[in-house]
Chains A and B, each alone.
Chain A
Amino acid sequence: MTILDIYPVQHNIEQLQSVIYNMATKTPSKRKKKRNESNTSSPNVSMDELGFSPVSVRDVGPARQGNLTGNPRIIKDGAANWHNLIDKWNKLNDQGLAIVNDIANRRLAVIYEAKEGADGGQLSVPPPDGAELQELCLKLETVVNSMKGVVKKMSGLTQQFIGVSELEEYTSRQSGIPVEPLFQTLTSVQFSEKSTELLGYYSKEIELKDTIAQYIAHAKQKGLIMLYTSSWLHQPYIPDSASLLMESMLVDTGLR
């Protein structure tokens, strides 16, 4: 928004410059005080003289400090929990990757040996060590189950965010006052949207990981094994923008 959008009337440049100068030099609190006192802009040039209507600007300060209560408290705690859950997810993903790599290497070794045996006409295909592979698969299953638990908690958080946003929207409809940002820029609706988007990514990713955990030990092609391993590592359903979403929530709530 430009200054001309705010004051779209005939004016002379000097008066306008004076208004801008006063707006820039006054501290926000002083400005607020002045606005409350007289509903005019500056001591030098009154709005009435210029034919301007007073502009009400929401005082957007730094993130709320001190003991929060109510919805801001819920959202801020929720954002912190989101961050912790993603952290936990990443740790579990690393644990799982080590197991997936181990399984993939065993499978690849079996495939190569089978190929060599076929080429050389020898029967040198040792049966894979079923017990060890089984143990690895069980470990991977445990990791995936823990990840499912994380996603379940993410879902709970998202429900909480949606609840808060619906409540705020309801209150807003009742009072006729539009929903305002909880902290700096994001409204509760936007928090719930971001949370839902993040949940969508992680839900899809856990489905993929579950499939990988179920089938990796049975894969018979090198390419497919690579696809499983690479998918586990790079998490294709979690785009890079997910971290941006998370960061935006943390920054807005003042946690970052």
Chain B
Amino acid sequence: MQAESAILRQLQKSFKIVKHQYEKYNKDIEETRQYVESIVNLSEQLIAIKDVEMDSTPLEKFPDVKDKLSGKLMMSIEHLIEKLALSLHNQEMCVRHITQCQTSTSELCRQRYSAQLDIQAAMEGQPLRPSITDMLLWLQSIEVAVRLNYGERELAMNTVAYTSEDKMHILQDKWSIDKQLDNSMLEIMARLMYFLPEKL
């Protein structure tokens, strides 16, 4: 009984943190989305001007205009990429917090209370709360999904190339809220609606 209460308390604490961190994570993505749009736009300009033949155009008397413009565009992109890197760091912090919650909860179950925990009781849910095993599983699923989601975004950032349309579109695609993950989170949080505010 003591083991069950302790695990429930830990689960409640973990889910509260996960909920808060996930909201922070999504907010950060939403707030920086505009930078990605700007980067893509600047990159399109960079790609478009790259192939322009200056000879035989009215701009041939400005031979350095393409270089100067490219330099300016690159600088603007770099400036925005720096902002994205900062945002990515914040997202990493959120992921770390979520991972930490999952790790500490599993450790508590496996190492401290594994012998005392009544497996049958742990598998049974109550009217106002899901079973412990279910909640442990959800916590792990959330952690894995969020880590994966972050990893994809980090990879897109690390492999970004300003003059590659494909890479830019990957970045644009990855820098958005994952609907599937978001729906899963909403579903899980709905199931925990009565459990989270409960006084244990």
Contact = CB atoms under 8 A, between A and B. Distances in A.
Given A223-B51, A223-B52, A226-B49, A214 B58 contact: yes
A66 B58 CA distance: 52
11 contacts: A223-B49, A224-B57, A224-B59, A226-B44, A227-B52, A230-B49, A231-B59, A234-B72, A235-B72, A236-B71, A237-B65
Main secondary structure of the interface of B (DSSP, over half): helix
B116 interface: no
B184 to A, nearest CB: 41
Given A211-B59, A211-B62, A230 B52 contact: no
B72 A226 contact: no
A133 interface: no
B56 to A, nearest CB: 10
A214 B62 CA distance: 15
B65 A208 contact: yes
Given A208-B62, A211-B62, A230-B48, 11 more contacts: A211-B58, A211-B61, A223-B48, A227-B48, A227-B52, A230-B49, A230-B73, A234-B73, A234-B76, A235-B72, A236-B69
Nearest to B72: A234
B141 to A, nearest CB: 45
A240 interface: yes
Interface range on chain B: under 10, 10 to 19, 20 to 34, or 35 or more?
A: 20 to 34
B34 interface: no
B121 interface: no
A221 interface: yes
A11 to B, nearest CB: 50
A215 interface: yes
B62 A230 contact: no
Main secondary structure of the interface of A (DSSP, over half): helix
Interface range on chain A: under 10, 10 to 19, 20 to 34, or 35 or more?
A: 10 to 19
B75 interface: yes
B45 interface: yes
Contact of A236 (B44, B48, B52, B68): B68
A203 to B, nearest CB: 13
A115 interface: no
Interface in B35-80: 44-45, 48-49, 51-52, 57-59, 61-62, 65-66, 68-69, 71-73, 75-76
A191 B72 CA distance: 26
A227 B44 CA distance: 11
B65 A215 contact: no
A230 B69 CA distance: 8
Contacts of A211: 58-59, 61-62
Interface string A209-238: 001001100000111101100110011110
Contacts of A230: 45, 48-49, 69, 73
B55 to A, nearest CB: 12
Contacts of B71: 236
Contact of A227 (B61, B66, B72, B75): B66
Interface in A74-101: none
B69 A231 contact: yes
A227 B68 contact: no
Given A208-B65, A234-B72, A227 B59 contact: yes
A215 B48 CA distance: 18
Nearest to B51: A223
A223 B49 CA distance: 6
Nearest to A218: B58
A250 B75 CA distance: 25
Contacts of B66: 227
Given A214-B58, A215-B58, A227-B59, A236 B49 contact: no
Contacts of A208: 59, 62, 65
Nearest to B50: A223
Contact of B52 (A224, A234, A237, A240): A224
Contacts of B45: 226, 230
Contacts of A223: 48-49, 51-52
A208 B45 CA distance: 18
Interface in B133-171: none
A200 to B, nearest CB: 14
